[in-house]
Amino acid sequence: ELYDKFLEDRKTWCKFTTLQTYPNMYKYIKQFMKIRCVDYSTEHFLQWKKNMYSRKKISLRYKNDILKHWKSILNFGTKMYNFDFSFVYRKMDKFKDPNARKKEMKFYTLDEFNKFISAEDELMWQCYFKTLYYCGLRCGESRGLKWKDVNLTKNILSVKRQVIQHPNEDGTNYVLSDPKTPKSIRTIPICATLSISLKKYQQSLIDNNIYDNENFVFGDGNLPLSEHYILKRKKRNTEL
């Protein structure tokens, strides 16, 4: 009941992207749901933590995200219903792994990227992957980019929204959302290499009478690219 009240509250003010993470986290805290709030004890938590440590396929970072989520539920119970979880709360330390190594970030060098993009024969896809590479956009941000956000005179583009994969009753499978953080709303310079490609791509749309300032840059007019096709295209190019 506390969890249901917590969700009800979060839906009134929480970002859609955050709410999307809750169902997956729920399956890891489900064992708590049969415990009365007044009976929640250190033993319950320690047993849960032991079980979580045994889940080798879950990253340490995600385990701590789940723990943070569980703490936020307890905090809600204290704030709204005056439950006292303080004794157990003090024992709820983060998951730790003394042997954990920071995951190395993988990226293409310029030579590697040029080799990758040389396999791409469609102008739209060339522009898409160049925008990711040269502007550093997240996938959702690139999918949410509209032509009105791109100024090819000043060679800048503005990140104002992102596309989130989500099935809707109207048959569409996406929603528009604010970028991940407030700092993610930004203006980015467009380098000469990308500017030339985007101008060529934009002109091809104008010549075919399918250009609209409100359309998504990458996609089919008023529909953005799907994650499925992006991954499929990326795999195709890396294998060529």
Confidence of residue 25 (pLDDT cuts 50, 70, 90): very high
**Tens digit of pLDDT for each residue in 58-117?**
999 999 999 999 999 999 999 999 999 999 999 999 999 887 777 777 889 999 999 999
Among the listed residues 31, 26, 38, the one whose alpha carbon sits nearest the alpha carbon of residue 72: 26
Confidence of residue 170 (pLDDT cuts 50, 70, 90): low
Based on the number of CB atoms within 10 Å of its own CB, is 53 exposed (0-12), middle (13-18) or buried (19 or more)?
A: middle
Amino acid 191: pLDDT: 97
Q: Please list, in sequence order, all residues whose beta carbon lies within 8 angstroms of the beta carbon of residue 166, skipping any fewer than 6 positions away.
A: 16, 20, 173, 174, 175
Distance CA(156)–CA(22), nearest Å, equals 36
Is the pLDDT at 180 greater than 90, yes or no? no
- Weakest-pLDDT range from 30-34, 103-107, 205-209, 235-239: 103-107
